[in-house]
Structure 1
Amino acid sequence: MSLTFTPPHHDLTYMAPLSEQRADRLVSFLAAGQPGSVLDIGCGWAALLLRVLEAVPDAVGEGIDLDQEAISHGQSVAVLRGLTDRVDLHVDDARDLAGGWDAVICIGASQVWGAPVEEAQPLPYAAAFAALRALVSPGGRVVYGDGIWSSPPTPAAIAPLAGREDEFRTLGEVVDLAVAAGFAPLAAHEASLDEWDVFESGYAAAYARWLAEHDADDPDVAQVRELADRQRTAYFSGYRGVLGLGYLELLAV
């Protein structure tokens, strides 16, 4: 029997190290362009997309992700917020998308345009920016967010990740790649350590909850403890303060 944990949305507002203050900023950036259409690639349960639609009453949105459970939760939230007639959330492959969007959100989804994750290749920033630029017309707005090195990678940091120092780039290097792809950065900023702590704690909370809800002699306890220990060690003894997440507010030029 496979283990069943509470889904991430039970403990996280966003599937990223993203505070409400930073989310407000990103929503305001997108809403300022008064977009008629907004696309969210790798939307998860579409928390940010739904906020943009609430901020721009005339906009319609589409969110795609490969996680059916996350999509289903996003659909239920859209119902509660009265947005079902303005948003389409579904499982799909971003590589099949066509252009024509006024605004695009892409946070933690650059790997879509790269090699399979199992191959442990560097994050394909350039390919992601090229694909995003093709989706919007000049003047279109893009919120991009993905992993960066906040400080030089250490052996302990890269071990639980892809195991390579060139997996990520610095924030400045990522900004340069965005410019080369046809964007003008309006702003670039980075998730704080507090945002990371909240995110990692929320992501791992499902293990703690499972252990608290099962007897100590449950046959799966050892496996769940190992999963929890591995995640905790990877973060606190590995990439905490080394792996960051950069956010870019981009205008297509």
Structure 2
Amino acid sequence: MDRSEIFDIAHLRHPIAAPVAPDRLRELVGWLSPAAGARAVDLGCGEGEWLQQVLLDHPATTGVGIDHALPASAARRTGERGLTDRVRWIETDAATWNDGLFDVVLCVGARHAFGGLEDMLVAVRQHLRPGGQALIGEMIWEGTPSEAAPAALGLPADSVPDLAGLVRAFHRHGLEPSFGHVSTLTEWDDYEFSWTGSLVDWAVRSAPTAEDRDQALTAAREHRDTWLGGLRRELGFATFVLHDVAPGPV
């Protein structure tokens, strides 16, 4: 099993693919205000839930979802919701893809596709039309991290900001928050235990081979150990709706 297969199974029961509850997702998307005929893009869309909620809330908007490995479930749910003619799913590298400017740019939990926070924000700006809105979800430290937390992530401690540092990063790129949400511990636990639980259920009930079963169980155990052994109560997640306030050309 490759990483994308494990990812798809892990999100079977939590397609939002971030530690954000469904009602909070809807609240965040509700702060977006695209005009009729607007275009939205989700960079690193994963299961596509964020983009689909934008399209459900704004029937005159079309969207594009970009990810290097798109799960079949994204297209399936699009069809179930009657959105097929308003969205394109494109399997490619979000860091190099380009199709002009968009009224709304989403990027939730996908900094890895760009190499880091700053590069991700540069990419968001490159796709965002002047005066547009962005919806960005990003890791933060809840406090000063222990040595175990950055080691569990495999990242330098200073590559993840605290909440204030994240807002400062937005300002450096001409983005002003209009609304934000910091994921609760309950949201984190729901997400993490759904991630590992979906893999365990699949391994026990549906794995076609013993090798697949063992790989899924190993992935679930490693992920759970990382969460409980170094990240829980230290790693946070913040999602912001942002307005472009960068000065225009003189």
Q: TM-score, length-normalised on structure 1? A: 0.85
- Cα deviation for residue 222 of structure 1 reads 6.0
- Cα deviation for residue 11 of structure 1 reads 1.5
The verdict on how the C-alpha distance between 1:135 and 1:228 changes in structure 2, with shifts beyond 3 A counting, is: closer
The letter of the residue matching 1:44 is G
The verdict on how the C-alpha distance between 1:57 and 1:157 changes in structure 2, with shifts beyond 3 A counting, is: same
- Output the CA distance in 2 between the equivalents of 1:226 and 1:84: 36
Identity of aligned residues (%): 30
Contact kept, 8 Å, 1:153 with 1:242, in 2: the verdict is yes
- Cα deviation for residue 34 of structure 1 reads 2.9
- Cα deviation for residue 57 of structure 1 reads 1.0
1:251 aligns with 2:243: yes
The letter of the residue matching 1:105 is L
Q: Deviations over 1:157-207 (max 9, x none)?
A: 223211532231111111111111111111233111111101111111133
The letter of the residue matching 2:112 is Q
- The aligned residue for residue 59 of structure 2 is 57
- The aligned residue for residue 84 of structure 1 is 84
Q: Secondary structure at the match of 2:152?
A: coil
- Output the CA distance in 2 between the equivalents of 1:9 and 1:23: 16
- The aligned residue for residue 248 of structure 2 is none
1:32-181 aligned within 5 A: 32-34=33-35, 36-68=38-70, 70=71, 72-94=72-94, 95-114=96-115, 124-181=116-173
- Output the CA distance in 2 between the equivalents of 1:102 and 1:235: 36
The verdict on how the C-alpha distance between 1:209 and 1:187 changes in structure 2, with shifts beyond 3 A counting, is: same
- Cα deviation for residue 237 of structure 1 reads 2.0
- Output the CA distance in 2 between the equivalents of 1:214 and 1:130: 42
5+ residue gaps, structure 2, are: 246-250
- The aligned residue for residue 29 of structure 1 is 31
The verdict on how the C-alpha distance between 1:228 and 1:134 changes in structure 2, with shifts beyond 3 A counting, is: closer
Contact kept, 8 Å, 2:10 with 2:199, in 1: the verdict is no
Contact kept, 8 Å, 2:13 with 2:194, in 1: the verdict is yes
5+ residue gaps, structure 1, are: 115-123
**Count, aligned residues:** 239
